């Protein structure tokens, strides 16, 4: 099929090809997280959708009732239960940063 992107990692949209809404969204991620997280590289193609998910994520992880440490425990347990190695790998460092001991992370 012509024009079909290859399977594998999505490279994202080049900065010089972004529309203004995409630029603003990318800037928000880069300011807050230092990078554009994996799924958002795809979702940034649809800025209204990506903003909804970003706002939901920010609310759950930063403004919810759980501490950062408890959030990371919940994410790691869920990732393990759902066999989601990408999420588990991504959140192991975040769990350490949130104060979870390495032994606890390994036990999960």
All structural domains of the chain with their residue ranges: 18-62, 68-107
Q: What is the pLDDT of residue 1?
A: 44
Cβ contacts of 52 within 8 Å, gap of 6 or more = none
CA atoms within 13 A on the CB side of 104: 14
Give the predicted TM-score (pTM) of the model. 0.66
What pLDDT score was predicted for residue 105?
Answer: 96
Are the beta carbons of 89 and 58 closer than 8 angstroms?
no
pLDDT under 50 in the chain at which residues? 1
């Amino acid at each position: 099929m012509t024009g079909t992107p290859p399977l594998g990692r999505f490279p994202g949209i080049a900065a010089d090809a972004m529309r203004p809404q995409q630029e603003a969204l990318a800037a928000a991620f880069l300011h807050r997280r230092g990078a554009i997280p994996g799924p958002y590289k795809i979702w940034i193609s649809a800025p209204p959708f990506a903003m909804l998910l970003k706002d939901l994520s920010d609310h759950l992880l930063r403004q919810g009732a759980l501490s950062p440490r408890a959030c990371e425990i919940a994410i790691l347990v869920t990732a393990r239960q759902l066999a989601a190695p990408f999420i588990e790998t991504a959140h192991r460092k975040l769990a350490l940063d949130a104060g979870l001991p390495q032994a606890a992370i390994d036990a999960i």
